[in-house]
Chains A and B, each alone.
Chain A
Amino acid sequence: MSADISPIFGKLDWSVTPYTDLLREVNSSTIVGAGAASVLVLGAIAAVALLTWMRWWGPLYRNWLTSADAKKIGIMYIALALVMMARGIIEGFVIRTHQSTALGTLTQPESGLVSPDHFAQLFSTHGTIMIFFVAMPLLIGLINFVLPQQLGARDMAFPVLNQVSLGLTAAGAGLVMISLLVGKFGTGGWTMYPPYTGIDYSPGEGVDYWLWAILISGVGSTLTGMNFAVTIFKERAPGMHFMRMPLFCWTSLCVAIMLIYAMPALTVSSGMLALDRYAGSHFFTNEAGGNMMNYANIFWMFGHPEVYILILPAFGVFSEISSTFSGKRLYGYTSLVIASMSIAVISFTVWLHHFFTMGQSAGVNIAFGIATMVIGIPTGVKIYDWMATMWRGRIRVTAPIVYLTGFFLLFVIGGLSGIILANPSIDYQVHNSTFLVAHFHNVIIPGVLYGMLAGIHYWFPKAFGFRLDEDWGRRTALLFVGGFVFTFLPLYVLGLMGLPRRSPTFQNPDFMPWMYIASFGAVLMLCALASLAWTFWTSYRNRLALAVPGGDPWNGSSLEWSTPAPVPEWTFPHIPHVAARDDWGECKRSGDPWKAPQDYVDIEMPANTAHGLLIAATASALGFAMVWHIWWLAALSFLAIPALLAWRGMQVIEPRIVPAGEVEEADRRFRTMMADLAPATRADEETERNRGRPDLSEFAG
């Protein structure tokens, strides 16, 4: 990379790809780097070739990319997240492999698969991707798909804004992906603390990639939060009082509120760091009045609520599946609502526990330490509620229940190690060690990952019309559980033995046995990833046998199970009138729930638009141009965004009308088919006899 900046290409030139590194010096590190870039390039070429070969460009554009339907947007979020997850898990595996080859000696301290700088990029991208481009899109996607259906709403309150949010998230993910091929990523971890990430110590493009990915996708997430909140406040079906909402809607509300108040803090801290780097300001520098401690302060004002943003939707999913698959009503609805809300509020008061060791006095630490421990109480309440829900239920051990059981066992361990860390004097001993790494994976993987995968398994038939293969689903879940145990429990031991996190090398041979166990776990995690992919593939091939056109494969009790599978774009032929909590379950109890509505009316749906796509394109261009100092492109795309908004604002946009006749025909077809389906009992749930019409006499939820 040359120092002078070309007016056209900015700092870009031919020396920025990993291939040039490989040509300069062939070693395992540059081979890994070039290999990863090649996977990206080949993957992109393969995707383009497939789309062209199958003539899917048109349908992709018309049915998906320009759609403003929250359900489709949700599915696209999840697809994005799964792709990013593949990269994240593979990176986790590479980090583990590196560390098991990284035993150095005093004379030759650096060894192992990748170079220290490359290693730092690996954990930084892994953390950034997993938090912002796997966990966040998974939960936002799931909420998008489920929330309107559970509320009895047609769509989100702002469908096009929703599309824009997806576009911004994808733009951020795209920037992180591009950094594999063009240039380097930052090396400051997923938190990118200055002054190390300031312009003096990290002059290259790496930190800028992180900054722009975070700034762009962060705006998307804030907008999503507003969209969810307004939807819940304004779009509930008539009769859907707050205390009648399914628990998943409640946790979505908590998430929405937290997104609105937490994401701006991240935007502010990243914006200030960007000003330091681009405009020469001194918010976080060593000299000229800068105060780098304030970065940690503002970042974690976002960061701690963020971890509850990640976990709460999973809590919602677990509430739904524990009740459905044990055929019982959810135990302690009110206490779960109160617990979720308390978690949401308390989580704004604990952020300092992420920097106990920064030097403030003991009194400050204790205040935040106590607040941290308090948050364990509502979380504990929830665990007991779910166990009580399952107690004496007739539990079917489906894949979501395997995830739930794994969650029970492992999340409690993670939560308890969190309580240990909440004690400042203990934190002084183990902070910044792999004990901490074990702790947060111990809550994030069983919590977020298991919860989201369980939710995907649970609602998949609603989206695509066929169930996922239960055997493969259970195998995947077990592999994720086993993989977790082997990968991360050894890290508790290593942390107590004194291994700092983010270590590219170490000199203590006693670490090695634990390192090997952890690497074996990482192999299991790779197997779990493959098994997940196989589950989707094999279920797709068997989709006829697994089809559940009746739409209610699990004998559920909330509104989304009243519609056919796959759910039509208008969701409900007639907006339901809700009379009880678990309204669909009440309908089942009082006779034939599949009655046709009395009349049909025209349905207004948001018209397709390329607005989100255009905003995403300009935002990507803006981010890329800023990273590489291509000022003309940056200015152009920066101006293009308000221009696009104004242009759309000046148009008269008509909604798309689905005529009553079309709705009626589709709905009648569904009702007649329903009448012909044989009801499937609980014992038949996993067999071909389950066509999505459950045996109502067994309903007890």
Chain B
Amino acid sequence: MPGFERWLSTPGGKVAVIRSELALRDRLGGLLVRLDVGRERYAVPAGLYALGSPDAAAPVVVTANYKLTFDVVRRALAGRSLWLLVLETHGINVWCAAGKGTFGTDELVRRLQITRLDEIVSHRRLLLPIFGATGVCAPEVKRRTGFAPTFAAVRVTDLPHHLDHGGETTALMRAPTFTVLERLTLTPVELVGGFKAALPLFALVAIIGAFTGGSPVGGALYGVGALALAIIAGSFATPILLPWIPGRSFAFKGALLGAVVTAAYLATGDPTRHWHAIAAHLLLLVPVSSFAALGFTGCTPFTSPSGVKKEMRVALPLFLASVVLGAVAFGLGLGGA
């Protein structure tokens, strides 16, 4: 168990006391997860934990059993004495797990019963992250267990303020942020996923490039480079530059950046290229960037499913048309060469 310090005996049984400092192992593990290595099983056992030396009146903080979340929570609450009720979300973070329902009413009720929390604490209050409300119905939890959930803050780092100010939640504590750094930490998974999904495309581009370029190796590399840049434009550059790219549609933002990046690549690579080649590159690669950018809607805390559906209804036919035209331009180029 990560960060285990000692056992604490309570009226409800033994509870593991955990440290709030992270070990080097925790940090390294966190890094690997961010890079999408071994992301599948990064969980801590669900159950009740103690931070510091909590008593029957100490607050109860509810969180998910995703190891990274668990680490962020115990670090943010360093120096405090409280109970940590960790739900079984199968190693998935609160937001995603709440959407799936694993961070949900039933699991919370079950975990309260298994841990016999009602025998350990004298109060009946639970502190939950605001993003957990998608899966947890507070009135139902209250009816079924007597415990009343409060959705205290979006970020656990704001929990100390809530605890120290009589349960106050300011407007800022309710608002999610989406800083450059937060967006940056989300991009590795997007990039790796994008490149993996595009492997067949890479093979295709390399073969076509080898047969149509000046030299086989040079032609293959040129095509592979163009495709790689298009993916980076959509999966990396668009998320990072998100608020500064004009428009609201992610597909549009990605297409815009893809067009700029592809045009720059063509201009620096071989400015003497025929217009057929230029048109073919743009028409074939802009949809790639656009689609990659659209994929990032899954990572943001502000895009709605209805909005994404609307984008897809508009974008998918355009992608198809663009790819067909691109293929035609490419064919014309071959015919004229």
- Do A and B share a complex? no
